[in-house]
Structure 1
Amino acid sequence: MENILKECGALLEGHFLLSSGKHSNRYVQCAKILRYPDKAEKVLKVVADKIKDIDIDILVGPAMGGILVSYELGRQLGKESIFAERKDGLMQIRRGFEIEKGAKVLITEDVVTTGKSTLETKEAIESMGGEVIGVACIIDRSSTDIGMPIYSAIKLDIETFDESDCKLCKDNIPFVKPGSR
Structure 2
Amino acid sequence: MMTTPRVRVIESLEEYAPRPGEAKVFLAGGMHNCPDWRADAIAAFERVWSDGRSLAVFSPRRVVAGSSGFNEAMVGWEHRHLSRADLVLFWFPGGNEHRPEQPIALYELGAAAATGRPITVGVEHDYRRRLDVLAQLRYARPELPVHHDLGATVRTTVRMLGAGTHPLRNAS
Q: Which has the higher contact order (CA 8 A, sep 6+)?
A: 2
Which TM-score band (shorter chain)?
under 0.3
Normalized against structure 1, the TM-score is what? 0.27
Q: Give 1 or 2: higher strand fraction.
A: 1
